[in-house]
Amino acid sequence: MEKVELRCDWPTGCGAPRRKRRRRGKRKRRGMTEQRQLLTLLLWWRKNVEQEGEEAIVATSRAKQRGRDSPTWKVWKWQTCFHSHDPAELPDMNDPLIDHSEGQLFLNEAFKIIIEEVLCKGTDVKQKVCEWKEPEDLALLLDLELRAAGEPQQRLLQRVKDVAKYSIKTSHPRFFNQLFAGVDYHALAGRFLSEALNTNLYTYEVAPVFVLLETEVLRSLRQLVGWTEGDGIFCPGGSTSNMFAMNLARYRLFPEVKSQGLWAVPRLTIFTSAESHYSVKKGAAYLGIGTDNIIVVKVDEGGRIIPEDLEEKIELTQSQGAVPLLVSCTSGTTVRGAFDPLDRIADVCEKHTTSGCIGPERDRFKSVDKLLLSLLKVNYMLHVFCCVFQAAWGGSVLFSEQHRHLMKGVARANSVAWNPHKLLMAGLQCSALLLQDTTNLLKKCHSANATYLFQQDKCYDVNLDVGDKTVQCGRKDDCLKLWLMWKAVGSIGLAERVDKAFNLVAPVIKERMIKQGTMMVGYQPLGDKVNFFRMIVLSTLVSKEDMDFFLDEIERLGNDL
């Protein structure tokens, strides 16, 4: 008969206080004793795992402490226990009332699977990035259907394993598909902690730590932009950040739009390049502005906005009776990775700003024909979306002394949307909207002043109740992960990540290529992109195989970079 040892691998500290409490004569229903934990485990094992000819041995932590590591408690002891109970009293793993000890046992097992399947195998270059299955086959494999009855723990753990197995390993060194590759373990620990704490970032009352962390992280990010003051908020993704910027620009110019809607204001236009992120389009549609009111500005050969064309378009729009609302620039466009020339664009914006028109002059708009608007210049916002390119740079270049020049002039923007979940690897989602504004625009624009949540007679400064700065009600904490990662590697560490991504790859591959003599190819900066391999195909001897070899070789040489 094969002996199987069952143990409760409970973290220390969980069992101890409970035992103490019991000694003091208090017996709680919640908080199982170790004995009960082991019993549950044993029953579960017997129900789901046990093979014929196996015998279970359970070992308590006390037995271990006393050095009795050899199995002394045999299964028959528990069997006695088992038979002396009314089956109805025995713990049922599917009982809808939460049993914390059983739950934590499951979580512990699931964590081991996550470490092994997602983080060990998932980052191992010898393993596959994805285990491709046709949708129909995958649906069968996963047994998707949700049924009336619950399932045993063992099968649920197998499900955890299956989900991990058939999911894409985005932390795999060969995942180049999107901009959220890689894993940072400090950030991941922060994410697990946020999930376990399960709170909403709306009041200091329910999220004291997160409110303070968010304030600090936003302050530090603003500092990198070059602002000593300002505001900001973490949003569920960069698209939302961009939409918030649009809404803020609209409210800043026409506060009445909040109550009266767009019918009360003249037609508004948004300026951006054709290479900007598609969320500008989505935002214009969603906010009721309409995609036709996005004015597409021409780009140069490097994919950057041409300021002169922007100026022309602004003037043209005004002559048509529309009001320029926002210039949306991109630092690191989605496909080509271009950085719009922020300084020169800011010049254009400033030239077309008449501060006086916001106050009394704007009131005149209502009484006169909309066409008269063309005679007036209005104050509008400059928004920078630090989107990211394939090589994943974008806003994060601000960390790097060497590369921050790419975003020269960013401090002149009114708002910046920045996704640390990309290059910085903070994990999905982590997207900050930063504002230069100090007039509480964010709250004024988005607030609904729900009295059940944002009472004004609290025992602390109600400005810490940041929830009304967003159009969401519940909002997840997206800053702890960034804060913890930043604490772990420091600004220097984050800057190094940026610099390495920019500088290291091409020269090192080139050096190895030369030393191993397998092939030769040049690389060079191209426009605002730091380095590109420049492959010259002149020889008539070049075959398809050579092309394949070229690609394979670059990959081989740069494999560990």
Q: Which of residues 65-104 bind its own copies (CB under 8 A)?
A: 69, 94-98, 100, 102-104
Q: By the 8 A CB rule, do 321 and 373 touch?
A: yes
Q: Which of 41, 75, 289, 306 binds its own copies (CB under 8 A)?
A: 289
Interface with its own copies in residues 359-378 (CB under 8 A): none
Q: Which stretch binds its own copies (CB under 8 A): 39-47, 230-238, 307-315, 518-526?
A: 230-238
Nearer to its own copies, 167 or 355 (CB): 167
Tell me how far, at minimum, the Cβ of 80 lies from its own copies, in Å.
28
Q: By the 8 A CB rule, do 217 and 434 touch?
A: no
C-alpha 250/C-alpha 265 separation (Å) is 10
The identity of residue 162, as a single letter, is D
Handedness of CA 383, 388, 389, 394 (dihedral sign): positive
Which positions from 159 to 188 touch its own copies by CB under 8 A, shown as an x/- string?
xx--xx-xxxxxx-x---xx-x-xxxxx-x
Number of residues binding to its own copies, judged by CB under 8 A: 165
Question: Which residues have C-beta within 8 Å of that of residue 178, sequence separation ≥ 6?
Answer: 170
H or E element, residue 341: none
Which positions from 457 to 476 touch its own copies by CB under 8 A, shown as an x/- string?
---xx--x------xxxxxx
Q: Which stretch binds its own copies (CB under 8 A): 283-291, 513-521, 533-541, 544-552?
A: 283-291
**For residue 512, which phi and psi values (nearest 5 degrees)?**
-65, -40
Interface with its own copies in residues 486-545 (CB under 8 A): 486-494, 496-497, 500
Interface with its own copies in residues 25-64 (CB under 8 A): 28-31
Radius of gyration of the chain (CA): 30
The SS3 of residue 249 is helix
Nearer to its own copies, 203 or 414 (CB): 203
Q: By the 8 A CB rule, do 357 and 376 touch?
A: yes
Q: Which of 51, 65, 198, 543 binds its own copies (CB under 8 A)?
A: 198
**For residue 211, which phi and psi values (nearest 5 degrees)?**
-60, -45
Structure tokens, 549: 């070899």
Residue 288 binds its own copies (CB under 8 A): yes
Nearer to its own copies, 247 or 531 (CB): 247
Interface with its own copies in residues 332-351 (CB under 8 A): 334-335
The identity of residue 36, as a single letter, is R
Q: Which of 372, 448, 542, 547 binds its own copies (CB under 8 A)?
A: 448
Q: Which of 80, 85, 90, 292 binds its own copies (CB under 8 A)?
A: 292
Buried b (16+ CB within 10 A) or exposed e, 24-49: eeeeeeebbebebbbbbbbbbbbebe
Q: Which of 237, 302, 321, 558 binds its own copies (CB under 8 A)?
A: 237
Strands 415-418 and 381-386: parallel
Q: Which stretch binds its own copies (CB under 8 A): 287-295, 308-316, 352-360, 510-518?
A: 287-295
Nearer to its own copies, 210 or 393 (CB): 210
